[in-house]
Amino acid sequence: MDFKLSTRRADGVFIVDLAGRITAGDAVAAFRQAIRDEVANGHHKILLNLKDVSYIDSSGLGELIMAIGTVTQTICTSCGATVFKDEDGNWDPCPQCESKERKTWGQMKLSNPGRQVTDLLQFTKLYTVFDVHESEQEALASFSTPG
Ligand SMILES: [Zn+2]
């Protein structure tokens, strides 16, 4: 099956339904754009529904890692600028306003991974990096309230 992507909303969570093969090229580009759009629109809670995904290659996996990095980036509580760690792993103050108050921008979870995707995530030890749930219902319930 060719790659397909659509979005919908449930309980304040923005669900991205993915289907087919997430592989280098058009699929990865479309997925990247969808995540950018969600973040640009301020959608803090994103669920990737992988139910109909048949295959993810290393490019697709890399894009998933990029996506979670984008959504769960650390921002300044006062002005919203992205905050980074220094070389020793300590948090720098906000580059814009020098504030030391920071928070995580949003949450991203995965649901319904098929066999290949589950194996891939477990083999690469990414299963715990991504918050993976067996059902959409369970994933939706796991989002914490605003924060
Ligand atoms: Zn700031």
Q: Ligand 1 centroid to 146 CA: how many Å?
A: 20
Asked whether residue 12 is domain-assigned, the answer is yes
Asked whether residue 27 is domain-assigned, the answer is yes
Asked whether residue 68 is domain-assigned, the answer is yes
**In contact, 140 and 13? CB cutoff 8 Å:** yes
Share of the chain above pLDDT 90, in %: 93
- pLDDT tens for 30-84 read 999 999 999 999 999 999 999 999 999 999 999 999 999 999 999 999 999 999 9
Q: Ligand 1 centroid to 102 CA: how many Å?
A: 8
- The pair of three-digit structure tokens given for residue 60, joined into one six-digit string: 């697709």
Quote the CA–CA distance of 143 and 141 in Å, as a whole number.
6
Asked whether residue 125 is domain-assigned, the answer is yes
Q: Which amino acid is at 13?
A: V
Residues with CB under 5 A from ligand 1 (ion): 76, 78-79, 81, 94, 96-97, 99
Backbone angles phi, psi at 23, to 5 degrees: -130, 165
Asked whether residue 123 is domain-assigned, the answer is yes
Q: Ligand 1 centroid to 104 CA: how many Å?
A: 13
Rg (CA), the chain: 16
Asked whether residue 57 is domain-assigned, the answer is yes
In this prediction, residue 144 carries a pLDDT of 82
- pLDDT tens for 116-128 read 999 999 999 999 8
Q: Is the pLDDT of residue 147 over 90?
A: no
**In contact, 35 and 106? CB cutoff 8 Å:** no
Q: Ligand 1 centroid to 96 CA: how many Å?
A: 5
Number of domains in the chain: 1
- Place 14 in a pLDDT band, splitting at 50, 70 and 90: very high
Query: Domain containing 9: what range?
Result: 4-73+106-142
Asked whether residue 84 is domain-assigned, the answer is no
In this prediction, residue 53 carries a pLDDT of 97
In this prediction, residue 108 carries a pLDDT of 97
Q: Is the pLDDT of residue 146 over 70?
A: no
Q: Ligand 1 centroid to 92 CA: how many Å?
A: 11
Q: Ligand 1 centroid to 38 CA: how many Å?
A: 22
Q: Ligand 1 centroid to 143 CA: how many Å?
A: 26
Contacts of 17 (CB under 8 A, 6+ apart): 4, 5, 6, 7, 8, 49, 51, 52
Quote the CA–CA distance of 140 and 65 in Å, as a whole number.
20
**In contact, 76 and 106? CB cutoff 8 Å:** no
Asked whether residue 93 is domain-assigned, the answer is no
